[in-house]
Amino acid sequence: MALVTLCSGCGTTFRVTAAQLQAHGGDVRCGYCQRIFNGFATLITVNESAIENSSQLQLQLQSPPIDEPEIGSVEESRIIEDNLVAEENPVVIENLSNPPDSSDISNQGALAAETSQQQLLFDENEIRQQRSQALWLAANIFFLLMLIVQGIYIYRTELSAITPGTRSFIDQYCKIFGCTVPYSQDIKQLGIEASDLQKDSQRQPEVTTLSATIRNHAPFPQELPALQLNLLDDQDELVASRIFTAQDYLREKDSAQTFIESQQEIEIHVNFESSELDASGYHLRLLYP
């Protein structure tokens, strides 16, 4: 026995299965008039032989039976053997007389599989691209930090001069990397405000005392300079020359000082033996050895 249902719109009959009807609660769509109807409402059973010889099959549907249809002499009904193709909602019944080609089904399955594979490859490529971008960003940040660290190391003196407030930070930085932060040496911004060269003829005639005032005109601290003293004769010819470092002219209590603050003045006094020197003048200048 086979199951057959009748379209309530155009009267076309279709062969169906119980599984097809139960899949969507009996709702089906006619392949001819596109009407949606309930297949259980007009469901009947007929002999397989009647479906095989559909030209001699006649259905009497005035009183549709529950189990077996009554075959009478009513006008011959059209039985179109269609396949039932299940969609999400509603179920669509197509013509059974033209069953889908197996090659089409295979092609559709292959196409679906190919589409799924392409989507998977696209997702994988997108994930790889995102990972690559993240790695590239991390590498750029790392190299930027390395560049900053290297720049601070190379230009630590200049940075401390430009922004004196950062010197404490740079000192901590150098403790980590085992370096020091030397003070600037801009000799053009150091000046000798006053100087004097005298001998004490009463107490120590062979000792000469050099006195000078040094001022730092720069807006940042600078390393203490050295002093070059040139002794001259009456013709301004060089008689002798000597260089005094900070350790030579600093007082004992200031011996640990290594720099001169911005706009600061320091007084220096240096004694040296000049008994064998017959000098009548001098020239004093600042320098960094």
- At residue 93, the pLDDT reads 42
The residue ranking higher by pLDDT, 91 or 234, is: 234
pLDDT digits (tens, 9 = 90+) for 171-197: 888 888 788 888 888 999 999 999 998
Name, of 47-51, 149-153, 212-216, 256-260, the range with top average pLDDT. 212-216
CATH number of 187-287: 2.70.50.60
* Cα 35 to Cα 259: distance, rounded to the nearest angstrom: 101
Lowest mean pLDDT among 45-49, 56-60, 249-253, 271-275: 56-60
Torsion over CA of 100, 101, 107 and 110, rounded to 10 degrees? 70
Residues 74, 63 contacting (CB under 8 angstroms): no
* Cα 135 to Cα 131: distance, rounded to the nearest angstrom: 6
pLDDT digits (tens, 9 = 90+) for 111-120: 666 666 666 6
* Cα 188 to Cα 285: distance, rounded to the nearest angstrom: 11
Across the chain, mean pLDDT equals 75
pLDDT digits (tens, 9 = 90+) for 112-143: 666 666 666 767 778 888 888 888 999 999 99
> Of 79, 46, 42, which Cα lies nearest the Cα of 61?
42
**Exposed, middle or buried, 247 (CB in 10 Å: 0-12/13-18/19+)?**
exposed
* Cα 188 to Cα 228: distance, rounded to the nearest angstrom: 15
- At residue 230, the pLDDT reads 92
For residue 18, name the pLDDT band (cuts at 50, 70, 90).
Answer: confident
Domain ranges of the chain: 2-100, 187-287
